[in-house]
Amino acid sequence: MIVITTNQIAGKRITKVLGLVRGNTIRARHVGKDIMAAFRNIAGGEIKEYTKLMGESREQALDRMVDEARGLGANAIIGVRFMTSMVMAGASEILAYGTAVQVEPCDP
């Protein structure tokens, strides 16, 4: 599956647009990680616990989007974007979305 942020794929032509696909996840902070993050906040620097949490969330949202696209018969997703929002104190959503398409190689 090709997953790309642009609306065109070099060397490919879009043969069919299948529609919007999306994947999301909502994650809450963990008390143990909050304690470590508070210490890092005092000392300064990257809060690695949250970086890891957000990275895992992005991957899960992408995986869910790809699964939805496969279900439609797509072999690519174009125009991929991410959005995040706070759902409640201590919990945020990551949404990945794009357009599911079928592509084939361009004629030489």
**Is a pLDDT exceeding 80 seen at residue 38?**
no
HEC string of 12-68 equals: EEEEEEEEEEEEEEEEECCHHHHHHHHHHHHHCCCCHHHHHHHHHHHHHHHHHHHHH
Q: Tens of pLDDT along 54-103? A: 889 999 999 999 999 999 999 999 999 999 887 777 778 899 999 999 99
Distance from C-alpha of 63 to C-alpha of 60, rounded to nearest angstrom: 5
What is the crossing angle of helices 48-72 and 31-43, to 10°? 130
**Structure-model confidence comparison of residues 70 and 26, the more confident one:** 70
- The whole-number pLDDT of residue 28 equals 78
The whole model's pTM is what?
0.83
**Structure-model confidence comparison of residues 44 and 65, the more confident one:** 65
Domains of the chain: 2-105 (3.30.110.70)
